[in-house]
Amino acid sequence: MDIFLQQIINGLVLGSIYALIALGYTMVYGILQLINFAHGEVTMMGAMIALAVIHALVEMQTGLPGSLILLTGMSVAILGCMALGFTIERIAYRPLRNAPRLAPLITAIGVSIVLQNVAMLIWGRQYIAFPPILPSGRHAFFGATLTDLQIFIFLLSCLVMTGLVWLTQKTRLGRAMRATAEAPQIASLMGVNVNQVIGLTFIIGSALAAVAGVMDAAYYGIAHYYMGFNLGLKAFSAAVLGGIGNLKGAMLGGLLLGLLESVGAGYIGDLTGGFLGSNYQDVFAFFVLILVLVFRPNGLLGQQVVERP
Amino acid sequence: MKHGFVRCRSFLFLVVNLIFLLTACDSSPPPATGSTAKQDAVKKVLIGSVAPMSGPQAHLGQDNSNGALLAIEDLNAQALVIGGQKIEFVLLTEDDQADPRTATIVAQKLVDEGAAGVVGHLNSGTSIPASKIYYDAGLPQVSPSATAVAYTAQGFSTAYRVMANDAQQGKVLGEFAVQKLKAISIAVIDDRSAYGQGLADEFEKVVKAAGGTLVAREFTTDKNTDFMAILTTIKGKNADLVFYAGMDAQAGPLMKQLRNLGSKAKFLGADGMQNTGFLKLAGADAEGAMASSPGMPYEVMPKGAAFRERFIARFGEIQGYAVFSYDAVNVLATAMQRADSVDPKIYAPKMRDTDLAGVSGQIRFDEKGDRLNSSVTLYEVKQGAWVALETMGGTGH
């Protein structure tokens, strides 16, 4: 039982990282019907920027506590990614706003390749290790083990997601975003500055990606220029699983995918009597994804939307 | 719309033309290796060095390439004369991204460019598919770090390696785990690469033969960073030793996560993680990790300490395999000298009777191309550094 509990904890932590990235995919898709394939790379940039700041602070020997260094790194990464997200939208997507759907999709792939190579030029081709600045507090929890960092990651992502729900449901900006998602032309006729709303969506999504990137780097202690690809792919799948375009769907999808991977890798060997090993963990997760899409093509929480002309 | 399409097509045409132009520039004739060069002119001999120069193993690839570069600089300083001509060796470093498919493309490229010999590849998973291409072209290949048994077991007369293979390494590791560490329940994880898989299989075989119990066999990939799920399963089976067959980019986070799960199991690995990258990634949790590596510590090698010093002075940092890629270049060069030719077809048969006093010890090959009397050393992390425990085999000095 304690092992099962441990797998659930593993899955929730992994899932909360996926969920934060998935939100970025889903927000942009909801408003533009664009799959922003560069989003995984924004996550990577967040991790790399934060690590650069953290390494600089550690080398300066400021004597600051580890958690403060982490928060400083994260803040800089958030600001950096916000600027990056806005720039990407302004340069790569806005000029193609009225182009056929495939054009911005290809641009998105292009942007992701550019970002990967920029990161490779700046930070090199090696992986970067996360410096040992965080206390490795470990707590026993009903037979399972919890680290401070796991608790921090889970709580922070819950907090951020709650904040996002509040933002979209209770504020003027949120209303404008929902209006734009529903019908951009009508929203603009009603006095919503659509370009501004889209820009802000990218900025918010990129900030979330930065948080997720830093959490990933801190949790696994490693970051590299190509880490965005895998994270992006998983998070995109999570967004689809939950119903792309739906915020709560992205959160649910993220957590669910994390849980599926964790439980899948943990039990698939024993369940199949050693026939399938833990190397099939992704197969298991994606099999569930396919099953869900067969029965609910719009994802778990997705609604049937009429195709926009 | 139609207009747009036409414009699009002409644009595409332009792009395609441009690409052709670029590749045409790119494939400018390589320095001549044929006999067209004048008698008194210095003849350039291309030596290929292939390793992942990008991605998570780039630091190891750079190290291999540096080792080869140092050897070539030393050889050129001797101003060798082979076949009556002055020889200048030129290093061609290629990036195979640790990817088997890229490896075959790069191998073909080296063959086409007229390389006279190849040092590489770094990984077993890339050395094995590439060895077919070198064999077909009659090009001698000396790997400084591909330890998988399969590499020299294919019957290719052109494939050699200058360090112990995984059968030797797996034997040392398996016996060490069962007899010295007295591990009762052992868990094995591999990264499904040709190297990881082969090594894990050898280890498993030896552990079972030595009377050890295997409680779990788990898998990951050489790109993964999350091992919590498989480690939780392993912890649930009360393993007291976890063996990982793979590279440092995974081994570091893996050991950290093992400790984060509250497991006190011993952590054992092989040459893929016996380097400074692992120490950085695992941080304080690296303490007590054990790993094997082919060869012996630099202090024990006949010319090791001096080599290490010179290498660090030249390149800044040294990893595990540099000494072997240095020796690999010399194996090729001495075979050329004995055959008095730089033509692969003429000097390739001379490779088999290599008897070279390399930095890593005396180098001789068996009939398969494996190194005779090769040694394996066990290391442990003590106070943040790899410390040699003991060296098994090897009478090379």
Across residues B149-155, what is the average pLDDT? 93
pLDDT in the model for residue A138: 86
In a domain, A140, yes or no: no
Cβ distance of B260 and A221 shorter than 8 Å: no
Residue in B54, B219, B230 closest to A125 by CB: B54
Name the pLDDT band for A272 (thresholds 50, 70, 90): confident
**Residue from B59, B226, B255 to probe the interface with A (highest A Cβ count within 10 Å):** B226
Beta-strand relationship, B356-358 and B361-363? antiparallel
pLDDT in the model for residue B25: 44
Does residue B287 belong to the interface with chain A, where contact is any CB pair within 8 Å? no
Of chain A, the percentage scoring pLDDT greater than 70 comes to 98
Are the C-beta atoms of residues B158 and B141 closer than 8 Å to each other? yes
Are the C-beta atoms of residues B235 and A3 closer than 8 Å to each other? yes
Name the least confident of A3-17, B248-262, B381-395.
B381-395
Which DSSP string corresponds to B91-145?
EEEEE-TT-HHHHHHHHHHHHHTT-SEEEE-SSHHHHHHHHHHHHHHT--EEESS
Q: Which residues pair with A129 in a beta bridge?
A: A222
pLDDT in the model for residue A38: 95
Are the C-beta atoms of residues B195 and B148 closer than 8 Å to each other? yes
**Distance from B183 to chain A by nearest Cα, in Å?**
22
Report chain A residues touching chain B, CB-CB < 8 A. 2-3, 6-7, 10-11, 13-14, 120, 124-127, 129, 131-132, 136, 138, 140, 145, 147, 150, 216, 220-222, 224, 226-227, 230, 261-267, 269-270, 277-279, 281
Selecting from 3.20.10.10, 3.40.50.10490, 3.40.50.2300, 3.40.309.10, what CATH number does the domain B167-293+377-392 have? 3.40.50.2300
In a domain, A29, yes or no: yes
Helical residues (DSSP H) of chain A, grouped into ranges: 2-32, 39-60, 66-88, 102-123, 148-170, 172-182, 184-189, 194-220, 227-242, 247-271, 281-295
Measured between beta carbons, the chain A residues lying within 8 angstroms of B277 are: 127, 129
What is d(CA B217, CA B204) in angstroms, rounded to the nearest whole number?
A: 9
What is d(CA B261, CA B231) in angstroms, rounded to the nearest whole number?
A: 8
User: Using alpha carbons only, what angle is made at residue B120 by residues B115 and B123, rounded to the nearest 5 degrees?
Assistant: 145
In a domain, A60, yes or no: yes
Beta-strand relationship, B241-245 and B266-269? parallel
Residue A289 has pLDDT above 90, yes or no: no
Q: What is the dihedral of CA B15, B16, B22, B27, to 10 degrees?
A: 170
CATH number of A102's domain: 1.10.3470
Residue B40 has pLDDT above 70, yes or no: no
What is d(CA B309, CA B209) in angstroms, rounded to the nearest whole number?
A: 41
Residue A236 has pLDDT above 60, yes or no: yes
> Cβ contacts of residue A68 below 8 Å, gap of 6+?
none
Q: Which residues pair with B88 in a beta bridge?
A: B44
Give the chain A residue nearest B58 (alpha carbons): A126
pLDDT in the model for residue A277: 77
Q: Which residues pair with B278 in a beta bridge?
A: none
In a domain, A242, yes or no: yes
In a domain, A27, yes or no: yes
Name the pLDDT band for B17 (thresholds 50, 70, 90): low
Cβ distance of B280 and A129 shorter than 8 Å: yes
Helical residues (DSSP H) of B179-267, grouped into ranges: 194-209, 228-236, 248-260
What is d(CA A129, CA A131) in angstroms, rounded to the nearest whole number?
A: 6
> Cβ contacts of residue A207 below 8 Å, gap of 6+?
A78, A81, A82, A85
CA distances from A106 to A94, A101, A207, A228, A267 (A): 14, 9, 23, 17, 38
pLDDT, mean over chain A: 91
Name the pLDDT band for A309 (thresholds 50, 70, 90): very low
In a domain, A303, yes or no: no
What is the per-residue pLDDT across A186-212, written as a single tens digit (0 to 9) for each?
999 999 999 999 999 999 999 999 999
Measured between beta carbons, the chain A residues lying within 8 angstroms of B245 are: none
Burial class (CB in 10 A: 0-12, 13-18, 19+), B383: exposed
In a domain, A87, yes or no: yes
CA distances from B84 to A106, B74, B77, B91 (A): 57, 20, 17, 22
Cβ distance of A264 and B229 shorter than 8 Å: yes
Q: Structural domain of residue A45, as residue ranges? A: 2-126+151-295
pLDDT in the model for residue B6: 43
pLDDT, mean over chain B: 88
- Phi and psi at residue A118, in whole multiples of 5°? -60, -45
pLDDT in the model for residue B39: 52
Q: Total domain count for chain A?
A: 1
Residue B22 has pLDDT above 50, yes or no: no
pLDDT in the model for residue B264: 92
What is the per-residue pLDDT across B1-11, written as a single tens digit (0 to 9) for each?
444 444 445 55
Residue B15 has pLDDT above 60, yes or no: no
Across residues B126-153, what is the average pLDDT? 95
In a domain, A306, yes or no: no
Across residues A227-243, what is the average pLDDT? 93
Residue B32 has pLDDT above 80, yes or no: no
Q: How many CB pairs under 8 A join A and B?
A: 107
What is d(CA A210, CA A78) in angstroms, rounded to the nearest whole number?
A: 5
Give the chain A residue nearest B286 (alpha carbons): A132
What is d(CA A15, CA A234) in angstroms, rounded to the nearest whole number?
A: 10
- For chain B, which residues make up each domain, given as ranges? 43-164+300-365, 167-293+377-392
Selecting from 3.40.50.2300, 3.40.50.300, 3.40.190.10, 3.40.630.30, what CATH number does the domain B43-164+300-365 have? 3.40.50.2300
Does residue B221 belong to the interface with chain A, where contact is any CB pair within 8 Å? yes
Give the chain A residue nearest B221 (alpha carbons): A279
pLDDT in the model for residue A304: 62
Burial class (CB in 10 A: 0-12, 13-18, 19+), B57: buried
Scored b (16 or more CB within 10 A) or e, A250-261 reads bbbbbbbbbbbb
pLDDT in the model for residue B55: 78
What is the per-residue pLDDT across B207-254, written as a single tens digit (0 to 9) for each?
999 999 999 999 998 888 999 999 999 999 999 999 999 999 999 999
Name the pLDDT band for B13 (thresholds 50, 70, 90): low
What is d(CA A7, CA B99) in angstroms, rounded to the nearest whole number?
A: 32
pLDDT in the model for residue B29: 43
Across residues A66-79, what is the average pLDDT? 95
Token pair, residue B43, equals 């003849």
Of chain B, the percentage scoring pLDDT greater than 90 comes to 74
Cβ distance of B219 and A230 shorter than 8 Å: no
Measured between beta carbons, the chain B residues lying within 8 angstroms of A147 are: 260
pLDDT in the model for residue A305: 59
Q: Which residues pair with B291 in a beta bridge?
A: B269, B379
